[in-house]
């Protein structure tokens, strides 16, 4: 909706809007900036899960850092763990873990699933991210979406954020696809802005300027639309099936 509003034609009076919130999927910085430039009000990105009742972090008018999902709300703890359940230092990427009275005691009549999801009161979110020195959380992607290419970890959101800055790109989704040499490589599905032509060479050149070489997608596919849920969230599993 924010993407549509930022690009819609006509004049709109949003002077009464004070606290637009974004959640459910990553908010591209390009959309946040376009919305704020047009309507003079910032979007406050947050994060949560049903198992955490549901809000975990939120940017606020007092504490806001663009590109992050904010800081933990009162009464909630957030930490970053590695695969051995060790707490990682600020700036290191791992699984986002949540603890607090908001976290569920478990799944109803599903003890095995509960044991996989809750460790010593901490909720495994399945999302990858990092904490900065000020407690702001940045999501780098879903743990299951991590691309491991020739031993290097590649986070789809980093590529998506970079491509979203291209002036001809309307929307983008990145997944990992099989590769005989590197195991997995990134593939980008890109929607062009209305009324413009877009070629693969432009996207590749742009990525080479803004990303490390191993993160540049091996494949680009320019598409008219992307598979979505009824609420508009991109269904990457369907992209993986067709790739």
Domains of the chain: 2-143 (3.40.50.12780), 146-242 (3.30.300.30)
Count of CB atoms within 10 A of residue 161's CB? 20
Report the chain's mean pLDDT, rounded to a whole number: 95
Tokens of 13: 């009076």
Write the DSSP assignment of 10-64 as a string of letters: S----TT----EE-SS---HHHHHHHHHHHS---EEEEE-GGGSSEEEE--SSS-
Sequence-distant (≥ 6) Cβ neighbours of residue 195 within 8 angstroms? none
How far lies 46's CA from each of 63, 65, 80, 132, 197, in Å? 12, 11, 17, 16, 34
243 has a pLDDT exceeding 80:
no
Q: What is the mean pLDDT of residues 203-212?
A: 98
pLDDT at 199: 97
pLDDT at 101: 97
pLDDT per residue as tens digits for the range 115-151: 999 999 999 999 999 999 999 999 999 999 999 999 9
189 has a pLDDT exceeding 90:
yes
pLDDT at 30: 86
Q: What is the mean pLDDT of residues 157-162?
A: 94
How far lies 72's CA from each of 61, 81, 82, 211, 231, in Å? 14, 16, 19, 30, 26
pLDDT per residue as tens digits for the range 26-82: 888 888 999 999 999 999 999 999 999 999 999 999 999 999 999 999 999 999 999
17 has a pLDDT exceeding 90:
yes
How far lies 125's CA from each of 48, 49, 51, 88, 129, in Å? 9, 8, 9, 16, 10
Count of CB atoms within 10 A of residue 61's CB? 9
pLDDT per residue as tens digits for the range 71-118: 999 999 999 999 999 999 999 999 999 999 999 999 999 999 999 999
pLDDT at 240: 87
Position of tokens 């992607």? 141
Return left, alpha or beta for 116; rule: phi > 0 is left, psi -120 to 50 is alpha, else beta.
alpha
Residues 47 and 71: their CA atoms lie apart, in Å, by 9
């Amino acid at each position: 909706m924010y993407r549509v509003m930022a690009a819609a034609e006509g004049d709109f009076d949003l002077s009464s809007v004070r606290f637009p919130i974004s959640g459910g999927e990553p908010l591209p910085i390009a959309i946040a900036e376009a919305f704020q430039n047009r309507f003079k009000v910032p979007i406050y990105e947050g994060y949560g899960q049903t198992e955490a009742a549901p809000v975990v972090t939120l940017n606020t008018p007092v504490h806001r850092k663009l590109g992050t999902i904010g800081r933990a709300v009162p009464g909630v703890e957030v930490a970053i763990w590695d695969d051995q359940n060790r707490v990682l230092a600020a700036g290191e990427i791992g699984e986002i873990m949540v603890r607090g009275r908001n976290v569920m005691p478990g799944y109803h009549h599903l003890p095995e699933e509960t044991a996989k999801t809750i460790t010593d009161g901490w909720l495994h979110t399945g999302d990858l991210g990092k904490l900065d020195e000020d407690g702001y959380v940045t999501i780098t992607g879903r743990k299951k979406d991590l691309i491991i290419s020739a031993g290097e970890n590649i986070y789809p959101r980093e590529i998506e954020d970079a491509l979203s800055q291209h002036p001809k790109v309307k929307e983008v989704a990145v997944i990992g696809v099989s590769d005989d040499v590197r195991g997995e490589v990134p593939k980008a599905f890109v929607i062009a802005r209305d009324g413009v032509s877009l070629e693969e060479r432009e996207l590749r050149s742009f990525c080479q300027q803004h990303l490390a070489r191993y993160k540049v997608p091996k494949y680009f596919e320019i598409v008219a639309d992307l598979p979505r849920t009824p609420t508009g969230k991109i269904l990457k599993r369907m992209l993986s099936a067709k790739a």
